[in-house]
């Protein structure tokens, strides 16, 4: 398996049956960016979205993207993402995003700036992405979800039974870490459905949680539960489960 080529792309998320994405490659001015290292685990990292983007010349196109990060350049917010149309990393001005479409359901958010506003650290306290968790625990949970979703999607499928196995892991997360708040399972699963992490997000997330014995134990049992849930363990799934277990055994 070619790890280099895998790390430079993201697994394409499933498009909902009611969603038609016009994948014309417009002659727009979205910026090609070089491979970059993540500065940290961001709540937008790994999210798969369809963005309707307007170029400086006024041309509109729809792009299926896997998000990497949000950053401010001066007063302008930019989205760094892997564009599945151009097969490369691109940088999009958020103020030129006309709409955001959730690919698995077709739900449309008509204002890109408002959609991405909830990922702004200044507004994080207002966001349901906290799920009643301390920011550190929330980041740990997102890292756990990222690894599990990567393994589940590495065969380019995400079976409903794998999703059910993920739900069981969420319940265990709350129990094993003795979290007093009630988990918003539906919202967390909806967030997980939008994840399509690439190889670098996968390793970044694994490195974040590898030193927490409780979360590592959840990950090990959770990976097996997820990949075995549909009754078939694909070669890709076996490979990545083995990679994670060998990596953790080196600690």
pLDDT tens, residue by residue, 100-158: 988 877 888 888 888 888 776 555 544 555 788 887 888 899 999 999 999 998 888 88
Burial status of residue 53 (CB atoms within 10 A of its CB: 0-12, 13-18, 19 or more): buried
How far is CA 132 from its chain centroid? 20
Q: Are strands 76-83 and 60-73 parallel, antiparallel or unpaired?
A: antiparallel
Whether residue 118 contacts residue 126, with contact meaning beta carbons closer than 8 Å, is answered with: yes
pLDDT value of residue 27: 46
Cβ-based neighbours of 65, under 8 Å, separated by 6 or more = 48, 49, 50, 51, 79, 81, 82, 83, 84, 90, 92
Q: Where are the domains of the chain?
A: 3-126, 130-249
- E-only strand ranges, 45-186: 48-54, 60-73, 76-83, 88-93, 97-101, 108-109
Per residue in 14-35, pLDDT (tens digit) is 777 656 555 544 445 566 555 4
Sign for the pseudo-dihedral over CA of 45, 242, 212, 160: positive
Q: Are strands 108-109 and 97-101 parallel, antiparallel or unpaired?
A: antiparallel
CA distance 33 to 65: 14
Specify the length of the chain in residues.
251
CA distance 121 to 177: 25
Per residue in 145-167, pLDDT (tens digit) is 999 999 998 888 888 999 999 99
Question: If pLDDT is split at 50, 70 and 90, which confidence band does 2 have?
Answer: very low
Give the up-direction half-sphere exposure of residue 241: CA atoms within 13 A in the CB hemisphere: 19
Whether residue 205 contacts residue 148, with contact meaning beta carbons closer than 8 Å, is answered with: no
Per residue in 219-234, pLDDT (tens digit) is 999 999 999 999 999 9
pTM: 0.78
Mean predicted lDDT score pLDDT of the chain: 82
């Amino acid at each position: 398996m070619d790890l280099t080529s895998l790390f430079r792309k993201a697994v394409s998320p499933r498009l909902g049956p009611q969603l038609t994405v016009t994948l014309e490659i417009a002659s727009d001015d979205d910026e090609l960016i070089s491979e970059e290292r993540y500065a940290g685990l961001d709540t937008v990292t790994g999210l798969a979205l369809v963005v309707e983007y307007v170029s400086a010349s006024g041309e509109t196109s729809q792009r299926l993207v896997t998000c990497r990060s949000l950053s401010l350049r001066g007063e302008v917010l930019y989205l760094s993402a892997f564009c599945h149309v151009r097969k490369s990393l691109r940088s999009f001005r958020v103020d030129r995003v006309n709409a955001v479409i959730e690919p698995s359901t077709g739900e449309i958010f008509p204002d890109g700036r408002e959609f991405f506003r909830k990922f702004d650290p200044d507004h994080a306290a207002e966001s349901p992405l906290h799920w009643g968790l301390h920011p550190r625990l929330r980041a740990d949970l997102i890292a756990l979800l990222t690894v599990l979703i990567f393994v589940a999607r590495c065969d380019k499928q995400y079976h409903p039974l794998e999703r059910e196995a993920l739900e069981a892991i969420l319940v265990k997360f709350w129990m094993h870490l003795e979290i007093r708040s009630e988990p918003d399972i539906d919202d967390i699963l909806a967030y997980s459905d939008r994840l399509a992490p690439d190889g670098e997000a996968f390793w970044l997330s694994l490195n974040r949680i590898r030193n927490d014995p409780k979360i590592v134990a959840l990950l090990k049992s959770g990976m097996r539960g997820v990949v075995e849930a549909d009754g078939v363990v694909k070669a890709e799934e076996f490979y990545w489960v083995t990679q994670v277990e060998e990596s953790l055994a080196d600690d």
